[in-house]
Structure formats: C-alpha cells, structure tokens
Amino acid sequence: MMKDAIAILDFGSQYAQLIARKVREAQVYCELFPWDAAAEQVLKLEPKGFILSGGPASVYEPGAPFVPAYVLQSGLPILGICYGMQALAYALGGAVKPSQEHEYGPAEIETLHENPLIQPGYQRVWMSHGDRIETPPEGFAVLGRSANSPVAFIGDLERQYYGLQFHPEVHHTPSGAEILRRFVIEICGASPEWTPDSIIADSLERIRRQVGSENVLSAVSGGVDSSVATALVQKAMGCQLAAVFVDTGMLRQGEAAQVRQVLQEQLGIELICVEAESRFLEALRGVTAPEEKRRIIGELFIRIFEEQARQLSLPRFLVQGTIYPDVVESSAPERAKAERIKTHHNVGGLPADMSFELVEPLRYLFKDEVRLVGEALGLPHSMVWRQPFPGPGLGVRCLGEVTAERLERLRQADAILRAELEVAGLLRMDARGEQVAGTAQAFAVLLPVQSVGVMGDKRTYNEVIALRAVTTEDFMTADWARLPAELLARISNRIVNEVAGVNRVVYDITSKPPATIEWE
C-alpha cells in the first residue's frame, strides 16, 4: 500500500469512479468507500485528505447520507463535490435549500478570490444539481459563483475545507484534473508516488504475501487484463506459476495463435493450451439469456481450470485479470452501493463451490493503469494497447443461441470491421492510450433476427450484423463514434458480400448510458 493516499467517500454519484481515476492520474493512490463505511476501514488507509462525492439525495431528506463524524474530527483537508459540498456545509451549520433554477450541463463559474485550488477568473464547468447553498457555514468564504449558483465554490482556508458545486472529475470541466491535482498534492500534501513502477512493487509484495511457497494457476484469455495479471504473478512467483489458455472457440479471427505466440515465445510463460470449443458449444446449446450465458461460460472456465489443477498437483490459487470496472459493474460486496449492470464472468459469474482462492493483482486498477503496468513489465505493444475484449468472448456478441456456424459468421464480419478501421487509422491507440482518431472499442454483433433482402435477384431471409464503435476516456461512460459514412458503406458492402448468411448491416448510435458498450 502506498504511504500517501486519499479516501473518497461515495454518496451515490454516477461519477464517483471518475474522481478516483483523476486522483490516480495525478499519481496519488486513492480508494473509494461507501459514505457509511466503518471508520476503522477508511482510517486504515491513513489518508492525507478526504473527497466527498456527489449524489442524488437532498441533505434535508429523511435518511439522507451525511458526513461521518470521524471525517470532521480528523483535522484533514476535505473537498466536497456537488452533494458532498452540500453535505459538508450542512454538517457545519450552513443552510442548503432547493434551487428554483436548477443547473444541469455546461456552465461558467467566476472565481472571486485568491485561493490554492482555482485561479481567479472564469472557468467552464459541468453542473448537475437541484439544491444549492444559501448560507455557507461559519468560517467559509464564497470563492466562486455562477449565473444560477451564487455559492458555486466555497472554502475555509484555515481548516482547508473546500466545496465545489460543479463536477471537476468529468472531462466537460477542462480544468477539473488540475483542480483535483492541486487538492491532493498541494493542499493535502500527498506525494505523487503512484506510478507503474510503484504499482508493480506493491503488487509483487501482495502476491508473494498471499501465495507464499504454493503453486499458482493463471487463467489466460489473451486479453490485456489477464496477460498483465499473469506477467505480474510470473515476475513475483517465477516457476511457481503455470498458465492455462482455454480456446473456447469464441475468440476473434487469428487470436488463439497470437496468444500462444506472445505468451510462449515472447514472454516465456509456461502455457498449457486446452481446446474446448465443443464443450462450450454443448453447454450453451439452446441458451439465449445473456446472464445465463455468462454464468455458464464462467463456470465452465473454472471447471476446466480445476481439471488442469488436478494434473498440476492441485494448486490452491487461481490468477484472474479482474479490474476495477468489472467490480463496479458487477456490484461486488465490498463496493456495494452500485446497481448490478451485468455479471462479469470473472467477478459475478464464478461458481460458489469452486476450489480456488483467487489472486487478483489488478482488482482496483483502471484500464489505463493496467496498460501502463503492462508496458513497464515489457509486454508487447500490440497486446498492451489492443482494444478491450470481453472474457466470454464472442459468446456475448452472438446474440441468441451460440452455434459454431453463427460464431464463424460473426468472426468474419468482425474481422472485416477491424481491418477497415485499421486501414483508416481508426483502430489503434498511441503509447499513452489516447484515441488516435475515434474508436476506443469497435466490434460486430450478430443479432438473433432475420430480415428480407434481395441478392442476385433472389429473395433472401438472412441475419443482421450490428456494428458498434465508441469513444471513451474511461469505459465508465462512452459515446458512439462518428465514423465517416463512406467507411461505414465500405464495411457494410464487404460484410454482405463476403459473409454468408448476412444481408443487412446496421450501426449502433447509442451512448453509455443509457446503453452499455457491449450488447450483452
């Protein structure tokens, strides 16, 4: 654990994870806790300061979340954001009331006085609130205002308490990252030591402490997360690790061969390859419900690993590439305030009676942190910066029943999409993970519907391919990529001409939220 850290208390904000991500980008370690987490759980972190997130409640409602007493008694700096600002003001004797004019979306604030958090002048910000502070608590000065919020920024410079009515964590607030950096480093005094090298050192120590002298089995899918997790454990445990790669038959075109080549030849990892396509297809026969698919795939993965473990002196530990967004969307108990979005096969889809203890070195890392760690470990650029691919593979992009024929149809369409995006320069990311021109994730989905078409003067009744391409900074929210019409037309033409059984292509123009990036 890093010596300097920030504790973030989540009051139910949809942006809480973004706060954590921005603090980590400032190279300061942080952890996100439910607002009502036990004091000893939070203080065990030995935080240098607290950030209070936004939330949907009103401070005057019965049972509304409140600022825990230990936070105010700590004497540490506090930054309240939106509801967190209102809760802080309310706890210290300020007046909070519903606003007649709500603010949702872009706004401009004017900083009125010198302060260590925001430079004087005008700033574009993102607002999302219905209540506002009428009277700040004693000791607080009004440091900034907006057209609809006379109290948009407050501060008690002596106690180092600050409140922002806007959201600095979202990219719609251009100066937001700098505001958070100033708070955690300049006001809280946290040292910016959360770097790839320090993450690796911390992970190696935790892995060795957990595993000891026992052997470890790693679950490898070929994706970024499982590959980085496996490389970390190999660095920590050496010959105590054996990696198992299960070819489910639900990988993308050429992917199985690539996984073998990278892990065995480039990284020198002992890799056991299991051909299991027929087993997965048999288990999925007749299954169409997305959650049931994920459960079946997750359980069969584990059963296969258990079989391999019996041949490898029954190692007790299983490595998985679970990362923070997996935990959030699956509503893991220790973060339990979020609603379950879907069950990730490596979080919520695991059988209760599995015989392994999980080793998850990436469990609280964001995707961009995982990539930087992968680079520092020496993984190939092509693997580290590849686009995300779900653990259940094409099984959750093949909507409806999963069959060998439908998987191959989807695999060919997906390969065409990715090839054309590659040629257009729209598929890859640069060495820092920034989007080069538009797509952070792009893939094809095979729909369980048929439509009428005309091909070669004959009536057809074939399946439909949906194309999905999104832009995103964090994968917690995303927008659909505005791909050129000419490119979409070329992709569609190739798919209907080259992929048997498809006569229609559609393009998904839905953001996240309300949709998720994946269809299932």
First to last CA, the chain: 35
Cα–Cα distances (Å) from 159 to 39, 113, 141, 162, in that order, read 21, 17, 12, 9
Q: What angle do CA 38, 40, 44 make, to 5 degrees?
A: 130
Contacts of 330 (CB under 8 A, 6+ apart): 340, 341, 342, 343, 344, 347, 348
Which alpha helices (DSSP H) does 261-362 contain, by range?
Answer: 277-283, 290-311, 324-330
Which alpha helices (DSSP H) does 320-463 contain, by range?
Answer: 324-330, 367-377, 381-384, 404-423
Which tokens hold the place of 431? 């060495």
- Give the burial class of 122: count Cβ atoms within 10 A of its Cβ; 0-12 exposed, 13-18 middle, 19 or more buried: exposed
Query: What is the reported pTM?
Result: 0.75
Q: Quick one: DSSP state of residue 168?
A: T
User: What pLDDT is recorded for position 338?
Assistant: 40
Which tokens hold the place of 283? 């288990």
All domains of the chain, ordered by start, with CATH?
Answer: 5-187 (3.40.50.880), 196-384 (3.40.50.620), 397-507 (3.30.300.10)
Per-residue pLDDT of the chain (520 residues; tens, 9 = 90+): 557 999 999 999 888 888 999 999 999 999 999 999 999 999 999 999 999 999 988 998 899 999 999 999 999 999 999 999 999 999 999 998 876 655 567 889 999 899 999 988 999 998 876 678 889 999 999 999 987 788 999 999 999 999 999 999 988 899 999 999 999 999 999 999 999 999 999 999 999 999 999 989 888 877 788 889 999 999 999 889 888 898 999 999 988 888 888 788 777 788 899 999 999 999 999 999 999 999 999 899 888 878 888 888 778 898 988 887 776 555 433 433 444 344 444 433 455 666 778 999 998 898 889 999 999 998 888 778 888 888 889 999 999 999 999 999 999 999 999 999 999 988 865 434 444 456 889 999 999 999 999 988 789 999 999 999 998 876 777 899 999 999 999 999 999 999 999 999 999 999 998 999 999 9
Cα–Cα distances (Å) from 515 to 210, 260, 342, 508, 518, in that order, read 38, 34, 12, 10, 8
β-sheet bridge partners, residue 313: none
Cα–Cα distances (Å) from 158 to 110, 140, 173, 189, in that order, read 22, 9, 27, 15
Catalytic residues: 82, 167, 169
508 sits in the region (left: phi over 0; alpha: psi -120 to 50; else beta) called beta
User: What pLDDT is recorded for position 336?
Assistant: 39
User: What pLDDT is recorded for position 268?
Assistant: 78
**CA neighbor of 162 nearest in space, from 48, 42, 82:** 82
> How far apart (Å, rounded) are the C-alpha atoms in residues 503 and 25?
45
Rg (CA), the chain: 25
User: What pLDDT is recorded for position 169?
Assistant: 93
Tell me if residue 477 falls in helix, strand or coil.
Answer: coil
Q: What angle do CA 499, 502, 507 make, to 5 degrees?
A: 105
